[in-house]
Amino acid sequence: MVDLTPLRARFRGELLTAADGARYDTARAAFNAVFDRRPGVIARATGAADVIAAVTFARESRLPLAVRGGGHSVAGYSTIESGLLLDLGPMKGVRVDPVARRVRAQPGLTWGELDRETQAFGLATTGGRVTSTGIAGFILGSGSGWLERLHGLACDNLVAADVVTADGRLLTASAAEHAELFWGLKGGGGNFGVVTEFELALHRIGPEVLGGMLLFERADAVRVCRAYREWMRDAPPELGGGLVFLVAPPAPFVPQALRLLPAVAVIVAWFGEPSRGQVLLDGLRRAVPPAADLVQRLPYCALQSIVDAGNPPGRRQYWRSDNLRALDDDAVDTIVACANRATSPFSNIILQPGGHALAAVPDEATPLGGRNAPWQAHCYGNWEGGDDARHIAWVKDTERALAPWAAGHVSLNFISDADGGRVRAAFGDAKYRRLAALKRVYDPDNLFRSNQNIVPAPD
Ligand SMILES: Cc1cc2nc3c(=O)[nH]c(=O)nc-3n(C[C@H](O)[C@H](O)[C@H](O)COP(=O)(O)OP(=O)(O)OC[C@H]3O[C@@H](n4cnc5c(N)ncnc54)[C@H](O)[C@@H]3O)c2cc1C
């Protein structure tokens, strides 16, 4: 390990090494237990000055660097073997401006923490579907949430960001300053620097909304999928949610007869006037009567935590996602067949509807492609214990089975094996070239490479 003395002299936060025992082990744990890595040092930053110190130290000592916000990278990018893990977890500052409807937020916040602050003013922005997800990686990698059909992705709501670049400078990127860098941050991930503060647009939401889930037996899956597809076809932007293949939990709100059995859930997230939502919902209820109806008025923060219990830290994960160009009957049959072959009771397939605000953003406004896809399919392999190969094979088989409907342009948040091809495909060739040119300006030596990497363009 390199001599840490120069870093100790400049760093205010904790510096943890293996000698720190339990504190080090807690700090190095990643959400995805597949990545049990041992960094040489974990630098727990308290502010921008610490970030500058750690970035400068890593660059000058040629130490491999990984950056962590909330630690949810399913692909394991926020852990590292032997190098320096820059952990932004302690940076949880947040300030809501309810008049301007803006929030300034530091990168150690989770969505649960940020939603709590903005909801104190009846405001919210598109955030993660699991409250423990970090805001930082989420926003930089696109940021898909229940609010997206009404208010776009999280990156569409980014107004400005303070960024420490590879040379140790702190820049503010916005539409008015370092505009090309700002563009790259809206979906290009952590490739261009370490964001030390985000400014996000907020919207009037809640505090009470209509949400929850309709639960159906798995035997009805094909009918439910088709009915959901028809229901969503003309649904207004205020209706978010998705359709989830899951094993019903043994929870008190689940009828005894369904518990621990394969089921299908329609997650309902209605952000309009509640009685209008109920009328809309009746259409789906009539098409296929649910085995359990758990839709109710509830606080927005409760809706945001609705799938938390199924997503605890410390399980093993492997995920694949794609945009679908259509959800025809053959696609439905294929998805149901794949779901029925799931190798773990914790694994899910999720169908998410697109449209409205997602598609309304001009293609050139962000690096992302695939804005017009009507559906997204996510195959989430989650399991405990060993047998990784069997669970991973199920995820890959599902991806292969859905290939005839795949529209590509998977955003970085959902790319697991980030070989160059997948990262390029997220943006398309022209935008990838633009990002690679940007990377060359701000990180020519690819210091920030523990991510879905954009390789700096050659001279
Ligand atoms: C249970 C679960 C639920 C999820 N749900 C959703 C969802 O609903 N919608 C969605 O879009 N995605 C979702 N994701 C994917 C998630 O958004 C990404 O994994 C995201 O990168 C997580 O952000 P993080 O800060 O927690 O991750 P980290 O693991 O800390 O970081 C992820 C990546 O971002 C980089 N990074 C982190 N912070 C910074 C920073 N401040 N500056 C520069 N780079 C940084 C890291 O280096 C790493 O490459 C989910 C993931 C999990 C595990």
| Domain CATH code at residue 120 | 3.30.465.10
Is there an atom of ligand 1 within 6 Å of 77 CB? yes
Q: What's the CA-to-centroid distance between 133 and ligand 1, angstroms?
A: 7
pLDDT score recorded for residue 418:
67
Is there an atom of ligand 1 within 6 Å of 107 CB? yes
pLDDT score recorded for residue 348:
97
* Tokens 């859905």, located at residue: 402
Q: Looking at ligand 1, which atom is closest to the CA of residue 141?
A: 21
105 and 82 fall within a common domain: no
- Amino acid identity, position 80: I
* Tokens 């893990």, located at residue: 85
317 and 191 fall within a common domain: no
Q: In the beta sheet, which residues pair with residue 103?
A: 96, 200
Specify if 437 maps to a domain. no
pLDDT of 322 strictly over 80: yes
Is there an atom of ligand 1 within 6 Å of 71 CB? yes
Q: Answer for the pair 272, 148: CB distance below 8 angstroms, yes or no.
A: no
Mean pLDDT score, 89-110: 98
Last residue of a domain, one of 63, 87, 111: 87
CATH of the domain at 289: 3.40.462.20
pLDDT score recorded for residue 417:
78
Out of 31, 34, 67, give the residue to mutate to test ligand 1, the one with the largest number of ligand atoms within 8 Å of its CB. Answer: 67
Q: Looking at ligand 1, which atom is closest to the CA of residue 133?
A: 26
Specify if 172 maps to a domain. yes
Pairwise CA distance, residues 352 & 376, whole Å: 5
Pairwise CA distance, residues 56 & 168, whole Å: 6
Q: Answer for the pair 459, 78: CB distance below 8 angstroms, yes or no.
A: no
260: alpha, beta or left, given left = phi > 0 and alpha = psi -120 to 50?
left
Q: Looking at ligand 1, which atom is closest to the CA of residue 88?
A: 41
CATH of the domain at 19: 3.30.43.10
Structural domain count, the chain: 3
This prediction has a pTM of 0.98
pLDDT of 1 strictly over 80: no
Give the helix, strand, coil percentages of the chain, each rounded to 5.
Answer: 35, 25, 40
Q: In the beta sheet, which residues pair with residue 246?
A: 263
Specify if 457 maps to a domain. no
3-class DSSP state of 351: strand
106 and 64 fall within a common domain: no
Q: Tokens for 456?
A: 């700096």
278 and 369 fall within a common domain: yes
Q: Quick: pLDDT tens for 23-77.
A: 999 999 999 999 999 999 999 999 999 999 999 999 999 999 999 999 999 999 9
Is there an atom of ligand 1 within 6 Å of 73 CB? yes
253 and 151 fall within a common domain: no
Q: Answer for the pair 410, 452: CB distance below 8 angstroms, yes or no.
A: no
pLDDT of 119 strictly over 80: yes
Is there an atom of ligand 1 within 6 Å of 130 CB? yes
Specify if 455 maps to a domain. no
258 and 406 fall within a common domain: yes
Q: What's the CA-to-centroid distance between 136 and ligand 1, angstroms?
A: 6
Specify if 125 maps to a domain. yes
75 and 186 fall within a common domain: no
Q: Looking at ligand 1, which atom is closest to the CA of residue 78?
A: 29
Specify if 424 maps to a domain. no
Specify if 450 maps to a domain. no
**Residue 422 burial class via C-beta count within 10 angstroms: exposed 0-12, middle 13-18, buried 19 and up:** middle
Is there an atom of ligand 1 within 6 Å of 442 CB? no
3-class DSSP state of 382: strand
248 and 137 fall within a common domain: no
Q: What's the CA-to-centroid distance between 69 and ligand 1, angstroms?
A: 7
Specify if 445 maps to a domain. no
DSSP letter, residue 348: E
Mean pLDDT score, 176-200: 98
pLDDT score recorded for residue 202:
98
Q: Quick: pLDDT tens for 286-316.
A: 999 999 999 999 999 999 999 999 999 999 9
pLDDT score recorded for residue 251:
87
Is there an atom of ligand 1 within 6 Å of 147 CB? no
Pairwise CA distance, residues 253 & 177, whole Å: 51
Mean predicted lDDT score pLDDT of the chain: 97
* Tokens 């001599």, located at residue: 3
Q: Quick: pLDDT tens for 405-449.
A: 999 999 999 998 767 789 999 999 999 999 999 999 999 999 999
Residues of the domain holding 122: 94-205
Is there an atom of ligand 1 within 6 Å of 69 CB? yes
What percent of the chain is predicted at pLDDT more than 90? Answer: 96
164 and 287 fall within a common domain: no
Q: Answer for the pair 303, 270: CB distance below 8 angstroms, yes or no.
A: no
Q: Tokens for 358?
A: 């997602």
Q: Looking at ligand 1, which atom is closest to the CA of residue 68?
A: 30
Last residue of a domain, one of 187, 205, 223: 205
The CA angle 178-184-189, to the nearest 5 degrees, is 130
What percent of the chain is predicted at pLDDT more than 70? Answer: 100
370 and 300 fall within a common domain: yes
Q: Looking at ligand 1, which atom is closest to the CA of residue 452?
A: 49
Is there an atom of ligand 1 within 6 Å of 347 CB? no
Q: Where are the alpha helices (DSSP H) in 14-173?
A: 22-28, 48-60, 111-119, 135-140, 148-151
pLDDT score recorded for residue 416:
83
Closest CA to 197 of 103, 65, 110: 103
Q: What's the CA-to-centroid distance between 280 and ligand 1, angstroms?
A: 33
263 and 384 fall within a common domain: yes
Q: Is residue 165 very low, low, confident or very high in pLDDT (cuts 50, 70, 90)?
A: very high
Last residue of a domain, one of 175, 205, 235: 205
196 and 114 fall within a common domain: yes
Q: Looking at ligand 1, which atom is closest to the CA of residue 143?
A: 11
Q: What's the CA-to-centroid distance between 290 and ligand 1, angstroms?
A: 34
